[in-house]
Chain A
Amino acid sequence: MGSQLSIDGHMSPTTKVNAIYTAIQERDLQTLKELSRTDNGLLYDRLRRAAWPLLLHTDHGSYLDEKADDKQILDGVQIAKDIERSLYYYPQGMSAPFKEHKQKELRDLIMEVLWRNPKLNYYQGFHDICACFLLVLGKKDAIPAAENVALFFLRYAMLETFDPISKLLNLMNALLDMADPQLRAFLDRCNILPYYALSWILTWFSHDLEDYHKVIRLFDLFIASAPSMPLYVACAITCLRRKEIMAMDPDFVHTAVTNIPPDIDIEATIRQALVLEKKYPILSVQKHSGQWVHEHSAANTFESDWAALQYDQEPNHVRVEQYLGKGIPKEEWEDEVLKEIMQRRRSSTTSKT
């Protein structure tokens, strides 16, 4: 059933709503994933409220009470500052007291996730992700949802060191190299490092896109896909803008690339990302580029630890805790690669002036 639905790229909204309801009722996780990924995703927040907990394996219930103790949270000050600046683009038209209330809930939510998982480290941007879960699910359901997303999708960003993030970005670059070598070469010539996509990857684009519906639509895709999906979307966004980017003055390329146009066609982007995912599976990208992400990374443990779960199975938090306990050794070649890039940048700057 699932594959038939996904092939039809233009299901009418009514048909799709019915299909989503049926999949939820029948606890048909596979179909629900397909529906989330394709063709406008899960359509409405009321459907998401029913579907996301299933997709994230949190529908068995939420925590009875919140126990977070602020004093035990290391990044309290940073979190407070980020909360103050949260809910910036959306939702629109919130009254000040309501916004304040939501920000307090957001704070509680982040604190609770971190308190329950002391091995997770907060990063600026995690608050953006949590805000989306809060807006869709409400605080009580958002806590376990954000927790599972942190543990099974984002934990690479939540280790003690931030180094693995560079590796993910290099992987995105490698993917771009496979998808559009010309564009990649152009960006290289302009000395553009993949850090333009840093906030995209860290926040699932929720920091960059101003339109709530587009952000939430992407969240449908991400929670129903493997953790490397944001890399494919990032690549798709850049590829779809190739003409515009390649016609630019090199001095402005970084700024242009990093700012996603507000009128981006999100469905076209997602379709492109799905094509890329199919064509270049994450394993083959690693092989092609020699950029191996760690064996305990979410990307490489996802199949066994998450994708294989039945709807009534809970993911194994203990195992993830073990992964988090293991450090990631830094590899020397990473420095070498960077050194090379910087040398190239230096010489090109010199020749310009």
Chain B
Amino acid sequence: MPKDILKVVIIGDGGVGKTCLRNQFIHKRFTSSYKATIGADFITKDVHTDDGRKVTLQLWDTAGQERFQSLGVSYYRGADACCLVYDTTNFQTFHNLERWRADFLKQSSLPPDLLEDFPLILIGNKIDIDDRVVSRRQARAWAQQHSSPRMEIRCFEASAKDGTNVEEAFSCIAGMVKIPQLEFDMDGSDSFHLNRRDDSLRGRKSCAC
């Protein structure tokens, strides 16, 4: 059986907890003292999707400062999915998602007709802190606004500290992405990959947040 490797890029403002989320998912651990991420590195982890496929997630963690985005081209290209992360206790980080999403799509070098269907998920981190300023409703509204008929952006509220929803969010990504080869090979009829994608969405209409 061929190995499915999905490249997933985790982006969002500095300090929202991208590295912590990834570490919680991979190592099931949280430390409050972390160093800032400079550059980008990936860790891989195997997950099983709902339909029983084994998928290797290649999770790319990136620097949060805006000036690193000019290097983004090389990190973003070839990505299969993207995790947008904000901090539920800091509104600015939520506000900036717009720019992160736009920059990502711009630099991902995807063909224009695939842009709006590109698999994205939204993670609001730090819900363990009792100081929320971004509501679930706001997050859901943002997700809906940027979803397309074929790609629903799912939103999660998670805590890298206690692990809430971390596993769910990352596993969700694996289910969202179809293997490109399958899609393109069978692409004689336009409907094939669209159908599959719809199927995968139908089963999970409910948003986690």
- Residues of A in contact with B (beta carbons under 8 Å apart): 75, 77-78, 81-82, 84-86, 88-89, 121, 123-125, 127-128, 161-163, 165-166, 193, 195-196, 198-199, 202-203, 207, 251, 254-255, 258-259, 338, 341-342, 345-346, 349-350, 352-353
Contacts and interface: CB of A to CB of B under 8 A. Distances in A.
Chain B contact residues (Cβ within 8 angstroms of A): what range? 20 to 34
B34 A199 contact: no
Interface of B: 2-5, 14-15, 33-44, 63-65, 67-68, 70-71, 73-75, 77-78, 92, 109, 179, 181
Given A124-B64, A258-B39, A193 B74 contact: yes
Given A124-B38, A161-B70, A82 B14 contact: yes
A163 B64 CA distance: 17
8 contacts: A123-B68, A161-B67, A162-B70, A166-B70, A198-B38, A202-B39, A342-B74, A353-B2
Nearest to B33: A88
A88 B64 CA distance: 18
Nearest to A89: B35
Given A85-B34, A123-B65, A163 B41 contact: no
A81 B66 CA distance: 14
A166 B35 contact: no
Contact of B109 (A81, A84, A88, A342): A342
Nearest to A353: B2
Nearest to B63: A124
Nearest to B66: A78
Given A78-B65, A259-B41, A345-B77, 19 more contacts: A77-B92, A81-B15, A81-B64, A89-B35, A124-B36, A124-B64, A124-B65, A161-B70, A195-B71, A195-B74, A199-B38, A203-B38, A338-B74, A342-B74, A342-B77, A345-B78, A352-B3, A353-B3, A353-B181
Nearest to B69: A162
Contacts of A341: 74
Contacts of A84: 15
9 closest residue pairs by CB, A with B? A198-B39, A81-B15, A199-B38, A88-B35, A124-B65, A199-B39, A162-B67, A162-B70, A125-B38
